[in-house]
Amino acid sequence: MADFGELLRSVGDFGLFQHLLLVALCSPNFFQSFSTASIIFIEEDPKRHCNADWILRAEPNLTSGEQLNLTVPREQDGSFSRCRMFVPVDWNISDIRERGLNETTECVSGWVYHSSSYTSTMTTDFDLVCSNTGLRAAAQTALMVGVLLGSATFGPMSNSIGRRRAIQISMVFTSVFTAVTALSPNFYVYLVSLLMQGFGGGGYLMNSIILSAEWIGVSKRSRAACAASLSDAAGQCALAGVVYLVRDWRLTQLITASAFAIVLIYIWFIPESARWLLNRGRTQEAKELLVRAATINKRTIPPSLLDTKKWCPATGITSLNCVHLPQLEVKETAIREGVMALFRSPLLTRFLAIILLASFSVQLSLLMLYLFMPTLGLNVFLTQFIFGASEIPVHILCMWLVEFFGRRALFIGAYLIGGCASLLMLAVPAGYPVTVTALAVIGRFTLVCSASLYNIYIQELFPTSVRQSVGGLGAIAGRLGSIASPLLNLLRSYQWFVPTTVFGSLCVITGILGFLLPETRNKDLPETIVEAESAWLDCRMSSDRYSHRQYVFVLK
């Protein structure tokens, strides 16, 4: 009996239709990295002094040097204070010059900045310096929390409203709040809009990978996750160039919003997942999409494929009606499978636990290595370009390696090499920065590949009925790792080796647990939990446990 995978091969499993879909869904990922411009391209401690224009009321013709000398105290090294000023007084200028000012206070009227790298940054626009420095971390956390919430929301939502609709809604959130972020009048509006921007971005990334994977055949399915990551890496390279030319975070956000506005035009025309439609019993809509895909791929569908008049239960197939005929299997569930049904399967629960740990550990490790990289002392624009450029060959190579070596072997190897390379950084004595940097780069290379691998496993291990929910859980685990990384990095001030030991060990443990995962290369995607268990156990399971009704679409 032919399943959806066999039908997809007859329609064309990686033809022009799939290429166009992959380009349409991956293009927004190119600009997603631009959303981080406002929190990445900042000056940690910009040159500045308190705004002391109050003294100009006493003498409007003061030079800037005289103004600083009279209103801003000096530090012990002789430089002007960046966070203190003399308390304003209602004296004439001669009294101020003669008697001087001694009492100081925090900057009460903002700051005057002297930036040599940027025209405008989040730090300077919202005065996130001195006592407000901690608010920068709040902005970084807001974006990560937004991605987490988006993954948690749009994952289960797409199981009920469809992949296509979830993608469209999440893109609306991303586009609108990218523009709102650029126009934020104050930090709190900026914080909320950044959270909502991450909310949409998290939902879009996860759903776009799932939708493209469900339209691609088994031999090329891994390209969905790798292409999404490759698009993001290319975007990071472009981001370095855009920020280098623009130097204004608001303008960069508006450029990003303009790109998303173009995406909003065509995103309404992307197709729904035919696999999801069949899983929901919407056979006629699925048939129309498959015909459209076959037409674009220049493939011919037998006329019998379009015959929807003959139906028979899976358990009642007779030789007169069903033998020697290609058949499309369509499944419905009397009780819709939800993510809770997954936990009734010990095997799939074990797989889920490994995938969640993999997602958490790789995102924790990648961000920790990202926090270590600035110690190289390179120009920030060059560093950003190197980060993006270094990922491009990894993703291209991963597309080939995952088909040559298989998912399981590459998963184990990538996590073990990444974890061991990170741990070896601790063994390098001080004074060998090149060696430490080389190990960090090796760890980053392999862990970038690992990020694509656990996304591939999410697509191929779990059935259509819960695949999107599992994708949401995986994204949540990854975001928790990202949120935990700045906190883990704080421990460096107490024991320098603790952060590296923690994330390196987690990667090694994940690699060892990879031996418990099955090989999914060239396997069709399971539709139900019963099929998933049967596929990985290679035995028949009773369908009564999950109350399934199975139907067969007969082609004559």
pLDDT digits (tens, 9 = 90+) for 456-473: 888 788 887 777 778 778
What does the pLDDT read at residue 38? 66
266 exposure class (CB count in 10 Å sphere: 0-12, 13-18, 19+): exposed
Look at residue 553 and tell me whether its pLDDT is greater than 80. no
Residue 244 near residue 381, CB atoms below 8 Å: yes
Better-scored residue on pLDDT, 373 or 504 = 504
Confidence band for 167, pLDDT divided at 50, 70 and 90: very high
Given a cut of 50, whether residue 484 has pLDDT beyond it is yes
The mean of the pLDDT values for the chain is 79
Question: Is residue 96 scored above 70 in pLDDT?
Answer: yes
- In the prediction, which pLDDT does 329 show? 46
pLDDT of residue 41: 66
Place of tokens 């939708």: 211
Q: Is the dihedral of CA 102, 104, 108, 109 positive or negative?
A: positive
Q: Which of 71-80, 126-135, 251-260, 317-326 has the lowest mean pLDDT?
A: 317-326
- Give me the torsion for CA of 164, 168, 174, 175, rounded to 10°: 140
Which residues, in sequence order, are bridge partners of residue 332?
549
Asked which of 264-268, 270-274, 372-376, 478-482 is least confident by mean pLDDT, the reply is 372-376
State which of 62-71, 364-373, 431-440 shows the largest mean pLDDT: 62-71
Question: What pLDDT is attached to residue 152?
Answer: 81
Distance of CA 213 to the CA centre of its chain: 17
pLDDT at 173: 95
Distance CA 378, CA 374 (A): 7
Averaged pLDDT, 22-38: 83
- Please compute the mean of the pLDDT values over residues 174-197 and round it to a whole number: 92
Angle between helix axes 134-161 and 187-215 (nearest 10 degrees) is 40
DSSP 546: G
Q: What is the pLDDT of residue 168?
A: 95
Chain centroid to CA 185: how far?
A: 27
pLDDT at 315: 31
What is the band of 42 on the pLDDT scale with cuts at 50, 70, 90? Answer: low
Q: What is the pLDDT of residues 503-544, one digit of tens each?
A: 999 999 999 999 988 888 877 777 777 777 776 665 333 333
Provide the pLDDT confidence category of residue 296 given band limits of 50, 70 and 90.
very high
- Say how far apart CA 421 and CA 411 lie, in whole Å: 16
Q: Which of 89-93, 118-122, 300-304, 433-437 has the highest mean pLDDT?
A: 89-93
Residue 343 or 153, more confident: 153
Say which DSSP state 353 is in.
H
Lowest mean pLDDT among 357-366, 367-376, 505-514: 367-376
Above pLDDT 70, what percent of the chain?
84
| Number of residues that make up the chain | 556
Task: For the chain, state the CA radius of gyration.
Answer: 28
Q: Residue 373 has what pLDDT? A: 62
Residue from 33, 54, 61, 382 nearest 239 by CA: 33
3-state secondary structure of 259: helix
**Of the ranges 113-122, 289-298, 507-516, which one carries the lowest mean pLDDT score?**
113-122
Looking at residues 435-447, what average pLDDT do you find? 83
- The pLDDT, as a whole number, for residue 336 is 53
pLDDT at position 224 over 90? no
Cβ proximity of 276 and 163 under 8 Å: yes
pLDDT at 334 over 50: no
* Three-state secondary structure call for residue 304: helix
- Check whether 501 has a pLDDT greater than 60: yes
Please name which of 482, 402, 415 lies closest in space to residue 447, comparing C-alpha atoms.
Answer: 415
In this prediction, residue 263 carries a pLDDT of 92
pLDDT band per the 50, 70, 90 thresholds, residue 308: very low
Q: Could you give the CA distance from residue 459 to residue 298 in angstroms, rounded to a whole number?
A: 27
- What pLDDT score was predicted for residue 37? 67
Is the pLDDT confidence value at 260 over 90?
A: yes
If DSSP codes are grouped into helix, strand and coil, which group holds residue 49? strand
Amino acid at 112: V
- Mean pLDDT within 411-435: 87
For residue 279, name the pLDDT band (cuts at 50, 70, 90). Answer: confident
Whole-number Å distance between alpha carbons of 495 and 499: 8
